[in-house]
Structure 1
């Protein structure tokens, strides 16, 4: 009887060990398959993002500087460029921007105003045509890719307005080769502050430089 019990215990223990090893092997196999699938997807994603890329974006740029009420530029842009490696992208941006109107009255003493003068800024809508270089460095290539961008260029209208900004962006993939783009940037820019009137006598239009916050939302393929 003892021998039978011992044999039964050995059989149960042996079966448990074999079953446990099989489960472990299946888990390892599953992990390896998932890693392989992830690596294959990663390779396909990196490959699909290389080469010529293009898309469109909405751009919101809010300008301001000390002592002067700023303007806001709303723009619709075409974005195109070339992804040379999984890290580097170089391209350009063209489109149309329009500034929102605003009025600045002279009520306080300061660098930009004199209480002895009765003048104001009266800014109407102005359309600008931007031409901007767009350079990006990607940290990774994933379903949500992160990158730094640098923009440098000019906008053409009644004045030529400079554009320079640095920021961080995200590519949110909807498919392997298409994605939603979101960017946040800070920099410097110029805008036409408005028609300056001194004692009801019109003066020349006054270009102003200032800090700019830039929000961009687009789609690329």
Structure 2
């Protein structure tokens, strides 16, 4: 799951970044609103951890962009406001502005983790837990794959790529979107890297499972 952390405090930002990456989340860190808007314009996030006191404005200024029509309802990231403001009025204002949750600093990292895991479960429930295509069964909830009833071992990079494709069977994903799935493992990921892992998935799961859409990207065939 990819997360955008919007936090201007260097020490706290580094701590949260390190903690979430240790829990296998992919995290981008923006230190101000301008950076946050740039990230949101180019990346797809499941969750945004949003501080309110930022150098170039209040964090709530990001919410209109997240609520805009550029996002489908199922693509809009879940926004957790993370701030030292603990007044009820502040919580109400944040939630009314479009935030989904509110966490007051200082907080226990395990509580943050629990909330992010809840987001993962909710998002996982929006799609079928097991996708079947031919002899391949992809269990998104358990992160397991079988081919002709035999378990298939995938590397973390292979699974990250397959998870995106399987999240929307038959939908064409651009190369740029799929490269995001590999970015968390390799900052220098490019189209050549993507094609290598597409080739590996086809070798393990069958050449007909992932279809190339010339000039656009790839899609997972569900039939």
Interval containing the TM-score (normalised by the shorter chain): under 0.3
Greater share of helix:
2
- TM-score norm. by structure 2 comes to 0.24
Larger radius of gyration: 1
- TM-score norm. by structure 1 comes to 0.24
Greater share of strand:
1
